[in-house]
Amino acid sequence: MRLSGRWMVVVTVVLFGLSGLAARAARQTQEHSVENTIRYLPQPEVMRIASFGYDELVADALWLKLILYYGESRKGQHSLAFFEQLAETIITLDPLFVEGYRFPALVISQDMGNPQEGIAFLEKGMRAMPEEWWLPFEAGFIEYVTCVDDEEAFHWFKRAADVPNAPEFPRRFAAFVSGRAGDLQVSLVLYRTLAETTSDKYQREDALRKVKELEAAIRGDGPIPEWIKRRRYADGKVDPGIQSLEELERRRKERKARSREGGDGA
């Protein structure tokens, strides 16, 4: 976050007018929740015009509202009906805010049950920041854990590894997936990584809970989690006979080509 004391005053003035409009509309419905304040915020492009050049600072203030909104939903106070709208506004105002893509993508994928939309949200960040390896890495996480698609997970992990100055571990994950490393061990490392890097306490708590489940299963004193069983019984995944990253990439491209040909034929 970039809000300092003196800039907070500026941002407060800008948001006061915008939030005033939203609050007035909310009062007309006699509903005063954070959800209704978000419901009546202007569209992203209007927010950009109304920020008077303080786009990043307004985005930071809206980020705090997004975290509050998500936290209230976890407590059962409302749904996430306007989560994507607010997340979209934030990245419109500040397209180089990495966490502005990472956190919403996971919420859209896991809490809202739309993993492909979550990945599409990450891809917006990849277009804005092609040098940022975290975004394709998180797409790989979603494909591996949520979509149970090892081939696509490999594709994204490899893309993250190929970003200049990326650390070594995206390449290790690509190798794990290609070599069919044990799903318990791979999932354990992925969830440990999420717990260590997420900025949201609820996502951290969820990740740490899954870490404990996986550690117990690996030790043998706990059951194999249901979401791991789903991986093991999923159909049409990577052939255990694949021996190299190159072979997995070749098969992924062939599958995509067949899919495109089928779509053209339709």
Give the Å distances, CA to CA, from 224 to 128, 216, 219.
Answer: 39, 8, 11
Backbone φ, ψ for residue 24 (5° rounding)? -65, -45
Report whether pLDDT(262) > 50.
yes
Question: How does residue 90 score in pLDDT terms, banded at 50, 70 and 90?
Answer: very high
Look up residue 129 and give its amino acid: M
**Residue range 97-104: mean pLDDT, rounded:** 96
Question: Is the distance from CB of 70 to CB of 38 less than 8 angstroms?
Answer: no
CA distance 149 to 231: 9
Predicted confidence (pLDDT) at residue 240 exceeds the cutoff of 90: no
pLDDT in tens, 102-113: 999 999 999 999
Mean pLDDT, range 6-33, rounded to an integer: 46
Q: Which domains does the chain have, with CATH numbers?
A: 1-91 (no CATH), 98-266 (1.25.40)
pLDDT of residue 228: 75
Looking at residue 5, its amino acid is G
Mean pLDDT of the chain: 79
Model pTM?
0.71
Question: How many angstroms separate the CA atoms of 233 and 222, rounded?
Answer: 20
Range 208-226 average pLDDT? 88
pLDDT: which is higher, 261 or 109: 109
Using the predicted structure, report yes or no on whether residue 235 has a pLDDT greater than 50: no
Rounded to an integer, what distance in angstroms lies between the CA atom of residue 31 and that of residue 260? 47
Distance between CA atoms of residues 61 and 250, nearest Å: 45
Angle between helices 83-93 and 115-128 (to 10 degrees): 10
Q: How far is CA 255 from CA 119, 146, 202, 247, in A?
A: 19, 20, 37, 12
Q: Which of 92, 44, 50, 88 is nearest to 66 (CA)?
A: 88
Give residue 181's pLDDT: 55
Structure confidence by residue, pLDDT tens digits, 128-150: 999 999 999 999 999 988 888 88
In the predicted model, what is the mean pLDDT of residues 69-84? 92
177 pLDDT more than 90? no
Give per-residue pLDDT as tens, 28-71: 444 546 676 677 777 777 777 777 778 888 899 899 999 999 99
